[in-house]
Structure 1
Amino acid sequence: MLKSVLLILMFFMSLSAHAVVILQYHHVSEDTPSVTSVTPAQFRQQMAFLSDNGFKVKPLSEVVESIKQGQDLADKTVAITFDDGYQNIADNAHPILKEYGFPYAIFIAVEPIEQKYRDVMSWDTLNRLSREGAELANHSWGHEHLIRHDINETQDEWLTRIEDNLLSTEAEILAKTGQHLKMLAYPYGEYNLQLEALLKRHGFVGFGQQSGAAGKYSSLTALPRFPVAGVYAELSSLQAKLYSLNMPVLALEPANTQLSMGNWRPELKITLDMSDIYPHQLMCFVQGQGAVKPLWTSENEFTVRAALDLPAGRSRYNCTAPSKATGRYYWFSQAWVRPKNDGTWVEE
């Protein structure tokens, strides 16, 4: 009897063994836009929580390699990332991370550094942080909306331009810092199937801005991260996410996050491994529209669809479900991006 119980416990523990929560920050500052910021006090509180509660903060490249190889990750594994390379990361975040001995990654665009933007770190500063353990990775040449075509640009011309952009950025990071991690954070969290295929062809790993724990059920060209800023900057909001599990998604469609013209209420179909999930406890949420009950079409397949048109720009469908074994929540997010009705894009 005891042996059977132990086997069952080991089975349920194995369901979450590959999960890692990847945190995404932009600014750590009191005088930057709140929608992309946490204050230094909030950041210190969050890092203290990780330290005091047994979280294992690992280098991003290490957890990516573990996912690639199907290796187990310790429970409560976390990776910390920063987008854009703002100077306040060096001034305010780095000393706190160094105090706790936490590794982290910075995704950088080359053009703002070369043009010496006032609020962006220099190559000298980035190299200093690199020598102290920071990983430096690709965020495109000029922080472009990568999925957007130039005027009269063909599909092949667009793909060639983006390929040149990403490879040139990677080469420049290597030349200036010696780092060559082949990890890309999509600017604005925007990507599509063609961009994912490009990354795969060149051996890159891609990171979005859709929420959820990452692991063996995640696409290596669209790994999720939890944005920490604005209304999500408080520790009370972050705690549940830190304990989240990798939703066991076996298949989904449509896989393309870029919506076709007029398809502003996409129906998402997901197939799950239901071993640790009760279907009646799974709930989905449409950004800006609230909770939506999934429609189960079989024992392990459901659909979810927005009741209203998604707005132009970026949106999300989020789905969560508690684990039968632990009560902790599986968390999955599907990103969507759409143009305006006339085919043009929202200006940012």
Structure 2
Amino acid sequence: MAPSTPSPAESIEQIKRALTVICILLVLGVSFWLIWIDQHRVVPVIMYHHIDVAGRHPVATVPTDHFEKHLRYLRDYQFEVLAYDDYILAKQQGEHLSRKTVVLTFDDGYVDNYTNAFPLLRRYGYPAVMFISTDKVGQPGYVTWDQLREMAAAGITIGSHAIAHEYLPGLPREQIAREITDSRRILEQRLGIPVRHFSYPVGGFNDEIKQLVRQAGYVSAVTTNRGFDRFNKDFYELNRVTMDEEDLVFPVRWAKFSGYYNLFRKAREPQ
């Protein structure tokens, strides 16, 4: 006996049931995806270089007025700007941090970090960490030791950015070790403060360099955005989010401060 052909009404009902199942599966899929995204949110560690007039420097520059707009955005949207030491301690203790938590970092020790960024950080009451290459201190365009002491006394964390800002993977092992250990010793002697954190110059590192940083007594090290640890579980390979002069557009700024940016950025091989 030939199977009966469903009536138009029955066909419509079957289509409705199929569409309902598809919609339920889509909702479940999107829900699980959103839950996964939320659980893997990473506290954004923001990286600045120059805070100055746009186009004045070859290295990434955020104009001073743009930088203030970043800080105002964080204040207006009630972000918690966490001191770097507190961020590391919270990670060590497995503490769950607010979705609106960010960390501010500066590389290289340019004098405009003192003249332009530091007054704004004080005005807004925000902490930050500045990673310093010791050979650069006092050179034209860079901070002086007195300026570093003033910032450290005001609550700015000082970290090491090696001695000469050399690309570490290209150096002999003995020189790498000196760049890592001696820079810390010099900073601690000149500033009279503990130096516990390291920033890889040019973002260059490998497993051996990470081990040398650990052995030198640092408790953390930051990269640029190189490496494949998107979730910042490795304390010696903490990825950062680079800010530049184009980050005033709201969607871009939101993405970088949101904590989801690292999940979707293109992973870059450590060099």
- The alpha carbon displacement at 1:196 in A equals 1.4
SS in 1 for 2:170: coil
Q: Which amino acid in structure 1 is aligned with residue 267 of structure 2?
A: Q
Bigger radius of gyration among the two: 2
Q: Higher strand proportion, which one?
A: 1
CA distance in 2, matches of 1:110, 1:234: 35
Partner of 1:224: 239
Q: Is contact 1:105–1:135 with CA below 8 Å preserved after alignment?
A: yes
Residue 108 of structure 1: aligned partner: 132
Question: SS of the residue aligned with 1:137?
Answer: strand
1:33 and 1:96 map into 2 onto residues whose CA distance is 20
Task: Structure 2: state its 5+ residue gaps.
Answer: 1-30
Asked if 1:89 corresponds to 2:96, the answer is no
Question: Quick check: 1:20 aligned with 2:43?
Answer: yes
* Native 8 Å contact 2:232 2:239 kept in 1: no
CA change 1:190–1:215 in 2 (3 A) is closer
In structure 1, stretches of 5+ residues that fail to align are: 1-7, 150-157, 248-329, 339-348
Matching residue's letter, 1:23:
I
Q: Distance in 2 between matches of 1:170 and 1:74?
A: 32
Runs of 4+ in 1 over 6 A off after TM superposition: none
**Conserved 8 A contact 2:134-2:163:** yes
Deviation at 1:181, TM superposition (A): 3.2
Residue 203 of structure 1, CA deviation = 3.9
8 Å contact kept, 2:99–2:259 = no
Matches within 5 A, 1:57-76: 57-76=81-100
Q: Which structure ranks higher in relative contact order (CA pairs < 8 Å, sequence separation ≥ 6)? A: 2
- The residue type paired with residue 238 of structure 2 is L
Rounded to whole Å, the distance in 1 between the matches of 2:142 and 2:233 is: 31
> Residue 65 of structure 1: CA displacement?
1.6
Residue 335 of structure 1 deviates from its aligned partner by 2.5
1:109-258 paired onto structure 2 within 5 Å: 109-113=133-137, 116-149=138-171, 158-204=172-218, 205-210=220-225, 217-232=232-247, 234-245=249-260
Match of 1:334 in 2: 267
What is the CA-CA distance between 1:18 and the residue it aligns to?
7.2
Cα contact 1:109–1:143 (8 A) shared by 2? yes
Q: CA deviation at 1:19?
A: 3.1
For 1:86, the aligned partner's letter is Y
More helix by proportion, 1 or 2? 2
Residues 21-79 of structure 1, C-alpha deviations (whole Å, 9 max, x = no match): 11111111016226510111100111000000011001111101211221221221111
Shift of 1:165: 1.7
Tell me what 2:23 maps to.
Answer: none
Rounded Cα–Cα distance in structure 1 between residues aligned with 2:195 and 2:59: 29
Output the CA distance in 1 between the equivalents of 2:249 and 2:109.
22
Query: Counterparts of 1:259-338 in structure 2 under 5 Å?
Result: 330-331=263-264, 333-336=266-269
8 A contact 1:67–1:215 mirrored in 2: no
Kindly state the Cα deviation for residue 236 of structure 1 after the two structures are TM-superposed: 4.2
Partner-residue secondary structure (3-state), 2:166: coil
> Number of residues paired by the alignment?
237
Corresponding letter in the other structure for 1:52? D
Q: Aligned partner of 1:187: which letter?
A: P
TM-score, normalised to structure 1, is 0.62
Equivalent-residue separation in structure 1 for 2:88 and 2:259 (angstroms): 18
**Residue in structure 2 matching 1:38, options 62, 74, 86:** 62
How far apart are 1:133 and its partner, in Å? 1.0
* TM-score normalised over the length of structure 2: 0.78
- RMSD over aligned Cα, in angstroms? 2.7
Residues 239 and 93 (structure 1 numbering): CA distance in 2 closer, same or farther, change over 3 Å? same
Answer whether contact 1:211 1:226 (CA < 8 A) is retained: no
One-letter identity of the residue aligned with 1:199: V
